[in-house]
Amino acid sequence: MRNLVLASVVIISILTGCGTSNNGELVGVLDRPEWFEPDPYGMQFVPMGSFNMGPSGQDVPFNLTGQIKTVSIDPFWMDDTEITNNEYRQFVYWVRDSIARRLLGDVNENFLITQDAKGNEIDPPILNWDEKIVWDDPEYVETLNELYLKEEERFWHRKEIDSRKLIYEYYWVDLKQAARKANRYNFETQKYDGEIIDVKGNKQPIKNRSSFIMNGKIPIYPDTLVWMSDFSYSYNEPLTMNYFWHPAYDIYPVVGVNWVQAKAFSIWRTQLMNNYLSSIGEMYVMEYRLPTEAEWEYAARGGLTLSLYPWGGPYTRNNLGCFIANFKPNRGIYGDDGGIRTLPVGSFAANDYGIYDMAGNVAEWTSNAFDESSYTFTHDLNPDYRYNALKDDPPVLKRKVVRGGSWKDIAYYMQTGVRAYEYQDTAKSYIGFRNVRSYMGRDASAWANQ
């Protein structure tokens, strides 16, 4: 027994010692940091699981766009509400301020960082966010005028930012193309033998890893005119003028954002978090993205896999006879549920995952392309069908899945299993979005089930 104890002590000292030697044993890389993932602000945890994806009730319009399919989903985090006007405004302000800093860098080098900590030149320079912008400083007024509307375009002589100039340039790595066998690095030829399709639809030979980095530019200001263009012979001018900017609507869901803008927002939010993590010495990558169609439906069901609606029951009223979502009830009496149009996020109770407004208020973009038969050919593990539609592609290839129904939809479209679509380059007054983030590691709830 004494020999066993001594042997145990020796083994423990080998495995836990702080030296660099592994004494010939396979112990892995030493001094790896411990990982603990805190709850992301404003997000709820959705555990891993399986469910029957597809309609739980009758196909009222008989459009045959959904089948019943058993799928399994990895755990993830999801925003507990739709992205609000004020949250999206943070994105708008960031783009505005980044353009302003780039302009001011020509007259004051303090707005740009041109050297790294070791004194090496940074080309191109990066923005210095520690330098405050004084918008009415006489030294900067002339330079910043480029961001404002010209005199002849101003209404009532108001000096306002020209929203058409708020262009966001963003980058992403096309892992789908990188994962193709034909595009892998060939160790025999010491080069990449494949070719990729760039954002313009052109085929290009793969030079190196940088070939998989895609970039795009997009105006990110919401289309505030959707409140008028979506409806004929309807007075909606007050919402056109106030919905996105007035403080009264700060916690209302942002609308007028198309699918491409929602994707760009997700990339910006990813970089916002990762730049912060980098500043405190953390090198992990946290990716925010639009949910897949399967993730969205799984989260909407809230663990109630066979329910028609996120709240679990087959009805749109509670036991007191009150409506429990913002939609178009009865014969079109919009206000019977408490709102004529959108309502502040979280106005109704959350589902069992703690997520609000998965039915009604605004419909939501997902990351997936829409195809009537996609349930047939997608995998049953994290099903995901995407198509990166190009500008000149026909409209049918630009369809993206929209889920959840909105304030203008009847109850059928609020069902957890009902699919709809909209074109990726169109914005509507009844479509918003929310983000998800993949969970790192094994779902902790799985341990409790063993």
Query: 116 in a domain, yes or no?
Result: no
Query: In the chain, how many domains are there?
Result: 1
Query: Among 36-40, 101-105, 224-228, whose mean pLDDT is lowest?
Result: 36-40
Query: 388 in a domain, yes or no?
Result: yes
Query: 133 in a domain, yes or no?
Result: no
Query: 266 in a domain, yes or no?
Result: yes
Query: 285 in a domain, yes or no?
Result: yes
The verdict on pTM exceeding 0.75 is yes
User: Contact, 301 vs 416, CB < 8 A?
Assistant: yes
Give the C-alpha separation, 252 to 347, whole Å.
10
Question: Tens digits of per-residue pLDDT, 55-65?
Answer: 776 666 666 67
Please check the confidence at residue 12 and state whether its pLDDT lies above 70. no
Question: Tens digits of per-residue pLDDT, 193-235?
Answer: 999 998 888 899 999 999 999 999 999 999 999 999 999 999 9
Give the C-alpha separation, 199 to 264, whole Å.
14
Q: What is the CATH number of the domain that holds 378?
A: 3.90.1580.10
Query: What range defines the domain where residue 413 resides?
Result: 52-83+222-442
Both tokens assigned to 114: 């041109």
Query: 134 in a domain, yes or no?
Result: no
Query: 398 in a domain, yes or no?
Result: yes
Neighbours of 40 (CB within 10 A): 16
Query: 90 in a domain, yes or no?
Result: no
β-pairing, 431-432 vs 363-369, is parallel
